[in-house]
Structure 1
Amino acid sequence: MNLIENVREALKSVKVNFLRTVLTGAIIAIGISSLVGMLTAIDGIKAQIAESFAGLGANSFDIRNKGESGGRVVQEGKTEKIYPRIDYREASQFKQEFSAIGISTVFTSVTGIAEVKRGSKKTNPNTRIRGGDENYLSIKAIKLAKGRNFSQMDVRYGSAVAIIGKEIEETLFNAGEDPINDKVTFLGRSYTVIGVLDKQGGVGQDQGADRQILIPIENASRLDLRGSFNYRITGVASDPGKIDYEMGQAIGIMRKIRQDRVAQEDSFELAKSQSVAESLEEVAGYLRIGGFGIGFITLLGASIGLMNIMLVSVTERTREIGIRKALGATPLRIRQQFLIEAIVICVIGGIFGMMLGIGIGNIIANFIGPGGFLIPWLWMIISFIICIAVGLIAGYIPAFKASKLDPIESLRYE
């Protein structure tokens, strides 16, 4: 009884015991689908988030308040000095001086709870108002669906113009109605709509990117009556290879503007956009470990179920094993027969599990945030290897038991 014949017998056994094969394969399929599904969903979500940062590129950096909010900085349990916020004058001066090296944008968040009105129509009080300049859209990789960007004159004089999000347009304007050059009112002021942002979507039910309105940064600064706005700067180096050098230049410019003394540490923070991607990858790595752990536990339960089924199969086929041994089958060939049968069941279940997992993973990823269809080839290959390993582990004890049966006692078995 050679190896090829063992493969034929394994396939024949799978065909004869079709219902048992389907049920056993379903156990493996559920385990594999949970593993592949979770890992596919994690990769899909990561790809969508990474895409939102892709426009920043590897040659951009952020300058912001020390400690993110300009408050106290805590290091090693000690509360240190309070650093003053970056104000609009400092941010504008930096943009002007940095223009000799590269481009930059100054922006700030005005409020996240504005109500926007147009005639008798109004939005829920959850609209985000943000101030930006003529470079904001290009640096942040935000596209316009219609209309125009802020001009330098709009930014310089703080014109009462606005670029609205897609959801604002759909709420305040009827289908087919052009919002360009029409007026909307928020924060007690009237603004002329000059552009509509392309649909950006969001994560889950949070579609905040489509509920935002951009106004010129100069206009936004006039709303900063208490001096509490956080002004942030995103700079873009002239060349990715010069990013470190030009970040050093940016630090020098900002220290001069902020009048930081020679021995004094920076009174602001500067971070590469690349560090955001690195942090994202680190978080995704932890999620993968968690997903793999949960999938592994599910597969462990599936392998125990498969082992139980194979032990039942050995008991049912005791006489068959006795006949094979009487005809000259060696213990090695008997072990091979049951191992191959276990592996075949695992591979069949694994293939269906992979297909189901890819589908579920992509559905979850697209539900959280619209994106493309992802096929995780790496996880498919790993899952296929796991299927074979599970088949070997779950099938070995039943196969070993079958190979040790006494042929005479087996032939007597009823």
Structure 2
Amino acid sequence: MNLVENIKEALRSVKVNLLRTVLTGTIIAIGIMSLVGMLTAIDGIKAQIEDSFSGLGANNFDIRSKGFSGGRGVQQGVSEKNYPIVRYKEALSFQEAFNSTGPSTVFSTVSGAAEVKRGSKKTNPNVRVTGVDDLYFNMKALKIEKGRNFSNTEVRYGNNVCIIGLDIVETLFEKNENPLNDYITVFGRRYTVVGILEKQGSVGGGSGADRAIFIPVENTSKLDANGTFRFSITASGSDPLKLEYEMGQATGMMRKIRQDRVGQEDSFELVKSQSVGESLEEVAGYLRIGGFGIGFITLLGASIGLMNIMLVSVTERTREIGIRKALGATPLRIRQQFLIEAIVICILGGILGVIIGIGIGNVVANFIGPGGFLIPWLWIFVSFGICIFVGLASGYFPARKASKLDPIESLRYE
């Protein structure tokens, strides 16, 4: 009996024992369905979010004071050189020079613990005040729900206007009051509210943008009486594929503005902003690990069930094995037949599981947010690889047991 005949005989045996094949294949299908379904849903949700935030942060980079915290840094016990912080005029000079390449925004944190007042009401001293320009909200993905953005005139002359977060509104204003064009007091100065940000939420218990006030960056420079404010720049390149080149250009521009000498290291930091896609990929990676683990446990149970059924099959077909051996079948051919049966059952179950898993995964992804139909080719190939592995692992012991049966004792088995 050659290999081709052995395959035909294994397929014939699978067809004859149809009910057993269906039940066993269903066990495998459930395991593959859970694996493919979860991974498809994760990839589908990630694709939808990336599409909603397409391009956000993908080609952004930040320029800020050396060490970001400013002053002297210590690394491996050695005190580093003290570099001057990035000043407002330097940030504006870079913005003007980089304008031909792409947009950029200049901003600075005035205080992270400010108290805001309105009449007799006041907030806790934990409000963050940031000076920004009119491009900041678009580049940082902050949406103004009510009101408007700063005008060019307000940014240029540093008018006393502000855009506030939702927590500030809820603390200082009644529900029936309209905060727009009303006044709040920060640092003893009165600011007119021109915009309200939509609710942002926060991570790790922080206040985020909901408990923040944004004022024109020129106004911030007027508050910098001692020249201690650190100004940062977020720039956007023209093309993500050219980002490294444009970051090199930006470095040259800033070195010229800062008058860094040839051979001297940069007196500022230039770092690539982590894009939304990279953040999502990191989170999706952990979700995939969890999904793969759950699917693997399900498949482990399915493989044990398959092995048990194959052992029962060996016992039921003892006389058949004896007849095959009497006709000249070698132990190798007997092992091959049972292994092929196990693999065929796993592949049939895998096909069913993949189809159902893709359907469930896309339904879940589209239920969370509307999107297209995703076919995860990678997980399909991985699933079939797992099916073959499970078939080999589950069928080897029963096949080995069948190949070692004594032909005489097998023929006498009832």
Partner Cα separation in structure 1 for residue 251 and residue 97 of structure 2: 12
The equivalent residue for 2:164 is: 164
- CA displacement 1:170-218 (0-9 Å, x = unmatched): 7777889754334455566543332334565666887835554432112
Tell me the CA shift for residue 158 of structure 1: 2.2
The equivalent residue for 1:257 is: 257
The residue matched to 1:81 in structure 2 has which SS?
coil
Tell me the CA shift for residue 165 of structure 1: 4.2
Shift in CA distance, 151/341, structure 1 to aligned 2, threshold 3 Å: same
CA contact 1:10–1:341 (8 Å) conserved in 2: no
Tell me the CA shift for residue 83 of structure 1: 1.6
Structure 1 residues 290-305: aligned runs within 5 Å: 294=293, 298=297, 301-302=300-301, 305=304
Shift in CA distance, 316/248, structure 1 to aligned 2, threshold 3 Å: closer
Shift in CA distance, 98/326, structure 1 to aligned 2, threshold 3 Å: closer
Partner Cα separation in structure 2 for residue 314 and residue 37 of structure 1: 33
Partner Cα separation in structure 1 for residue 385 and residue 176 of structure 2: 55
The equivalent residue for 2:393 is: 393
The residue matched to 1:159 in structure 2 has which SS?
coil
Tell me the CA shift for residue 386 of structure 1: 1.8
CA contact 1:109–1:130 (8 Å) conserved in 2: yes
Shift in CA distance, 192/13, structure 1 to aligned 2, threshold 3 Å: farther
Number of residues paired by the alignment?
A: 406
TM-score of the aligned structures, taking structure 2 as reference length: 0.71
Partner Cα separation in structure 2 for residue 361 and residue 111 of structure 1: 46
Shift in CA distance, 78/43, structure 1 to aligned 2, threshold 3 Å: farther
The equivalent residue for 1:108 is: 108
Partner Cα separation in structure 2 for residue 226 and residue 7 of structure 1: 85
CA contact 2:350–2:384 (8 Å) conserved in 1: no
Partner Cα separation in structure 1 for residue 95 and residue 293 of structure 2: 49
The residue matched to 1:192 in structure 2 has which SS?
strand
Tell me the CA shift for residue 247 of structure 1: 4.3
Shift in CA distance, 245/316, structure 1 to aligned 2, threshold 3 Å: closer
The equivalent residue for 1:67 is: 67
Tell me the CA shift for residue 133 of structure 1: 0.3
Q: Identity, % of aligned pairs? A: 42
Shift in CA distance, 352/248, structure 1 to aligned 2, threshold 3 Å: closer
State yes or no: 1:348 paired with 2:349: yes
State yes or no: 1:325 paired with 2:329: no
State yes or no: 1:81 paired with 2:85: no
| Unmatched tracts of structure 1, length 5 or more | none
CA contact 1:117–1:172 (8 Å) conserved in 2: yes
The equivalent residue for 1:7 is: 11
CA contact 1:321–1:334 (8 Å) conserved in 2: no
The residue matched to 1:54 in structure 2 has which SS?
coil
CA contact 1:339–1:399 (8 Å) conserved in 2: no
Residue type at the aligned position of 1:92: L
Partner Cα separation in structure 2 for residue 361 and residue 349 of structure 1: 18
The equivalent residue for 2:270 is: 270
Tell me the CA shift for residue 86 of structure 1: 1.3
Partner Cα separation in structure 2 for residue 309 and residue 115 of structure 1: 70
The residue matched to 2:192 in structure 1 has which SS?
strand
Residue type at the aligned position of 1:64: R
Residue type at the aligned position of 1:268: F
Residue type at the aligned position of 1:231: F
Residue type at the aligned position of 1:87: R
The equivalent residue for 2:337 is: 336
Partner Cα separation in structure 2 for residue 269 and residue 132 of structure 1: 20
| Unmatched tracts of structure 2, length 5 or more | none
Residue type at the aligned position of 2:14: A
- CA displacement 1:271-302 (0-9 Å, x = unmatched): 344x7689769967985996698579747844
Tell me the CA shift for residue 323 of structure 1: 7.4
Tell me the CA shift for residue 228 of structure 1: 5.0
Higher mean displacement: 350-359 or 98-107: 350-359
The residue matched to 1:153 in structure 2 has which SS?
helix
Shift in CA distance, 392/359, structure 1 to aligned 2, threshold 3 Å: same
Partner Cα separation in structure 2 for residue 53 and residue 231 of structure 1: 28
Q: How large is the Cα RMSD of the aligned pairs?
A: 5.1
Residue type at the aligned position of 1:10: V
Partner Cα separation in structure 1 for residue 408 and residue 310 of structure 2: 20
The equivalent residue for 1:309 is: 308
Shift in CA distance, 329/358, structure 1 to aligned 2, threshold 3 Å: farther
TM-score of the aligned structures, taking structure 1 as reference length: 0.71
Tell me the CA shift for residue 233 of structure 1: 0.7
Tell me the CA shift for residue 397 of structure 1: 3.2
The residue matched to 1:156 in structure 2 has which SS?
helix
CA contact 1:161–1:192 (8 Å) conserved in 2: yes
Structure 1 residues 73-152: aligned runs within 5 Å: 73=73, 78-99=78-99, 102-112=102-112, 128-152=128-152
Partner Cα separation in structure 1 for residue 186 and residue 372 of structure 2: 39
CA contact 2:25–2:349 (8 Å) conserved in 1: no
Partner Cα separation in structure 2 for residue 23 and residue 103 of structure 1: 56
Partner Cα separation in structure 1 for residue 46 and residue 241 of structure 2: 30
Partner Cα separation in structure 2 for residue 208 and residue 68 of structure 1: 19
Shift in CA distance, 104/383, structure 1 to aligned 2, threshold 3 Å: same
